[in-house]
Amino acid sequence: MAKIVSLPQAVSDLVHDGDTVALEGFTHLIPFAAGHEIIRQGRRGLTLVRMTPDLIYDQLIGAGCAAKLVFSWGGNPGVGSLHRMRDALATGWPAPLEIEEHSHAGMANRYVAGASGLPFAVLRGYAGTDLPTHTSTISTVECPFTGERLAAVAALNPDVTVVHAQRADRAGNVQLWGITGVQKEAVLAARRSLATVEEIVDDLTPVPGAVVLPAWVLDAVAVAPRGAAPSYAHGYYDRDNAAYREWDAISRDREAFSRWLRTLEDA
């Protein structure tokens, strides 16, 4: 049952060194505030899972929190590369980084399997590509009914999933809408989960297409206004495209990144 706690308390309680951590949100509702709190608390050796690592994982990797990255598209959307990720892979700075690379469909189905309590998921995918050669969580399975060979991907069950949402009620039920990505699956696949929210309200007025995460599938809810910025929260604030562009220069240079990191840690 979700407890409503402060963000530092939630991260301290739920995210431990060496954990497999998924911070999900597909371009929209990326839990930046929670990611920054993980950096401030100095977590190390994390396996970071996200379909699109985005700036938040570039920051966690640059801050030395990560040992491994599980992902399916690692760029700065609309801008270019993730330079901290590339630096870590090429030179091991500030820590060596292992990768496990999938396609979006593969990652989405891994969460579906995890949420469904199944050991793997089946999809039409990966056939003829070079990914299965490099990624051990991709295999094939024969359909018992038709004999057809299909791709199989191992379930993802993070130790902890963190999502950001528009709002929660006082009981800790969480509501999110707009592009809802893979957050429901990522929360239901996880052993522990945290939702940060823009605000806590008395009643969750129904919103078309919204995902509701009942309080009893969450461990903690923390209020984090603008907690998805510089990504966006539909109905609350827009994506800060300028910040995404500016990250390119900050992340290209270790010194500029280190200055950014000190600013974050002092905040």
Partner 1 sequence: MTGTTDPVSATDPLSRWSADEMMSIAAARSLRDGQACFVGIGLPSTAANLALRLHAPNLVLIYESGTLETRPEELPLSIGDGILADSALSVVSVPEIFNYWLQPGRIDVGFLSGAQIDRFGNINTTVIGEYDEPDVRLPGSGGAPEIAASCREVIVVMRHRLRAFVEQVDFVTSVGHGNGPMDRQLLGLRGAGPVRVITDLGVLEPDPETAELVLTALHHGVTVEQVRAETGWQLQVSADLMITAAPNPTELETVRGMRTVGSGES
Cα separation of 106 and 83, whole Å?
24
Cα separation of 98 and 104, whole Å?
19
Closer CB to partner 1, residue 185 or residue 219?
Answer: 185
The distance of closest approach from Cβ of residue 40 to partner 1 in the complex, given in angstroms and rounded to an integer, is 27
Which amino acid appears at position 53 of this protein?
P
Apex 64 CA angle, 242 and 263, nearest 5: 45
Among 26, 32, 247, 260, binds partner 1 (CB under 8 A): 26
Note whether 226 binds partner 1 by CB under 8 A.
no
Q: Contact 224/197 with Cβ under 8 angstroms?
A: yes
Note whether 84 binds partner 1 by CB under 8 A.
no
DSSP annotation of 31: -
For the window 125-164, what string marks contact with partner 1 as x by the rule CB under 8 A? xxxxxxx-xx-------------xx---------------
Note whether 61 binds partner 1 by CB under 8 A.
no
Note whether 244 binds partner 1 by CB under 8 A.
yes
- Of 22-30, 157-165, 194-202, 217-225, the window that binds partner 1 (rule: CB under 8 A) is 22-30
CA R_g for the chain: 18
For the window 199-218, what string marks contact with partner 1 as x by the rule CB under 8 A? ----------x-x-------
**Token duo for residue 244:** 């995404």
- Of 15-23, 37-45, 84-92, 158-166, the window that binds partner 1 (rule: CB under 8 A) is 84-92
Among 145, 147, 205, 242, binds partner 1 (CB under 8 A): 242
Cα separation of 123 and 151, whole Å?
5
Cα separation of 124 and 97, whole Å?
29
Tell me how far CA of residue 233 lies from CA of 53, 60, 134, 172, 194, in angstroms.
18, 21, 36, 19, 17
Cα separation of 205 and 177, whole Å?
12
The distance of closest approach from Cβ of residue 233 to partner 1 in the complex, given in angstroms and rounded to an integer, is 9
Q: Contact 53/69 with Cβ under 8 angstroms?
A: yes
Note whether 58 binds partner 1 by CB under 8 A.
no
Interface residue list for partner 1 (CB under 8 A): 26-28, 51-52, 71-75, 77-78, 81-82, 85-86, 89-90, 101-105, 108-109, 111-112, 123-131, 133-134, 148-149, 178-182, 184-185, 209, 211, 232, 234, 238-239, 241-242, 244
